Chain A
Amino acid sequence: MPGYSAAIFCSLTLHGLLLAVVIIGWTPSKKEVQVRPRYIQATLLQVKPPKAPVTKKQATKKQVKPKAVDNKQKELAAKKRAAAKKLEESKRLTRLRKEKKQKQELAKKERLRQEREKAAEALRRQQEQAFAEALDDEEKYITAEQDEQLIGSYSAYIRDRIVNNWSRPPSARRGMEVVLSIQLVPTGRVIAVAVEKSSGNDAFDRSAEQAVYKVERFEKLQDLSQASPRVFEDTFRHFKLIFTPDDLRL
């Protein structure tokens, strides 16, 4: 009988390989699930304020140099000097006056420029404010939308729980409607139930009330009150529930 050792070797190798694959290599493939949000969030990144008017101007102009008067004759000099002095004096005066005028003009221009700058600044600030407000509005809109979704899903959950715990009284008819006012604490526990508006059928009212008591605790609301306490406080601490089961056959 040939080949027993070879056969044993083959078999053991095969099973060893198999075990190795089982121990080491077998990992179930993970599939990542990506949840896509339903809304599109667009944010405006930049708003260009209108450019402030360019106000740089040549502030000063070079003043005209006074002309030096040169007299050659000394006899004439004195006379002329006097005349020149007078002339100079008058020239100086006019120059002074001119300078003063210029200064005034400059100051006026400066003031004008500042005023204009101020106006531009105010305009820009106003625009920025408007932009911030718009952003705020957008954010508010988005959060409101999110809140609405949250509230919707949680109210569906609450309705489900209550309907599941509800036992239909024989006298229940289609179209009966009872309004319950329910009070919860942030853990989701029911602390008070009251009939706000009766359906006209005591048994039905009582059964609805009993259903809420039977639920005792809405477990998922604890997650909500942890995640966004504001929504819980606003919506679910006190709320009214219109109880109209639509699966009634009668």
Chain B
Amino acid sequence: MTEQLSLWTLVVGATVPVQLVMLILLGASIVSWVMIVQRGLYIRQTGIELRKFEGTFWSGVDLNELFRSGNNRLNKDNMVDGVENLFRAGFREFNRLSQGGGTDPDALMEGVERAMRVALSREEEKLNRHLPFLASVASVSPYIGLFGTVWGIMHSFRGLANVQQATLATVAPGISEALIATAMGLFAAIPAVLAYNRFSANADVLYNAYETFSDEFSSVLHRRVHSN
């Protein structure tokens, strides 16, 4: 061993199970980073949209107008997301039921609330999408890395059994290569843990905001039904 070992030669020289473990961890890391970035963008955007929509909603704009502008955006292939979906679901149901005529106001309100509850649960699902994957990467990948390490160390010690004179130099490369697996596991797990905690907290906040909005909107509609 005259030349210094580089990290890459260690990875290439590792045994097959350890290499497999490394590959799995690399894949998990890549996918979890895809999700981290995508979640970050999505949650940031929905937060912005929520503030914008609430601003326009409480500015006293005509609700029909608001609904129509949403329709326009849908026609132009723009996604309508988050709190606006709640509004649209509730308003559509309200219009449909009140256009039928002769509906009992309580039944009407009940229908509106049901429609909004469905929309709310759909939005919640959107907010929490991919978070379970991040959670499982965060909790499992250290174990996978540890498995790779244990396997590698087992292997290098078994090789040691046949050697007459055991020196540190005979085991050191094996142990070093095995430890890379743990390092990779931690590398995949740490960002996933951080992202999971952050995004689930953000999703909770957003969900609460949606719930509040749907209550407020149904109270607005309630007022309108009973004032007529």
Contact = CB atoms under 8 A, between A and B. Distances in A.
Interface of A: 1-4, 6-8, 10-12, 14-15, 22-23, 26-28, 30
Given A1-B42, A2-B41, A15-B29, A7 B8 contact: no
Nearest to A10: B37
B37 A7 contact: yes
B38 to A, nearest CB: 4
B30 A26 contact: no
B45 interface: yes
Contacts of B11: 22
B14 to A, nearest CB: 13
B42 A28 contact: no
Contacts of B6: 23, 26-27
A15 B5 CA distance: 22
B37 A28 contact: no
Interface in B1-24: 4-8, 11
Interface of B: 4-8, 11, 26, 29-31, 33-38, 41-42, 45, 79, 126
Interface secondary structure of B, over-half rule = helix
B4 A28 contact: yes
A8 B34 CA distance: 5
14 contacts: A1-B38, A2-B79, A4-B38, A7-B35, A7-B37, A10-B34, A10-B37, A15-B26, A15-B33, A23-B7, A23-B8, A26-B8, A27-B6, A30-B4
Contacts of A27: 4, 6
B38 A3 contact: yes
A3 B41 contact: yes
A2 B39 CA distance: 9
Contact of B33 (A1, A2, A11, A26): A11
Given A7-B34, A10-B37, A11-B33, 18 more contacts: A1-B38, A1-B126, A2-B45, A2-B79, A3-B37, A3-B38, A3-B41, A4-B34, A4-B38, A6-B38, A6-B41, A8-B34, A10-B34, A11-B31, A14-B33, A15-B29, A28-B4, A30-B4
Given A27-B6, A28-B4, A10 B33 contact: yes
Contacts of B42: 1-3
Contacts of A8: 34
Nearest to B29: A15
Contacts of A3: 37-38, 41-42
Nearest to B4: A28
A11 B34 contact: yes
Contacts of B4: 27-28, 30
A4 B41 CA distance: 9
A15 B37 contact: no
A28 B176 CA distance: 13
Nearest to A28: B4
Contacts of A26: 6-8
B7 A12 contact: no
B47 to A, nearest CB: 13
A31 to B, nearest CB: 12
A23 B26 CA distance: 15
B38 A7 contact: yes
B123 to A, nearest CB: 13
Contacts of B79: 1-2
A191 to B, nearest CB: 23
Nearest to A11: B33
A11 B7 contact: no
Contacts of A2: 41-42, 45, 79
A11 B126 CA distance: 21
Given A2-B45, A7-B41, A10-B37, A22 B30 contact: no
A8 B26 CA distance: 14
Give the one of B8, B31, B36, B37 with max A CB within 10 A: B37
A22 B31 CA distance: 20
B160 to A, nearest CB: 21
B76 to A, nearest CB: 15
Nearest to A18: B187
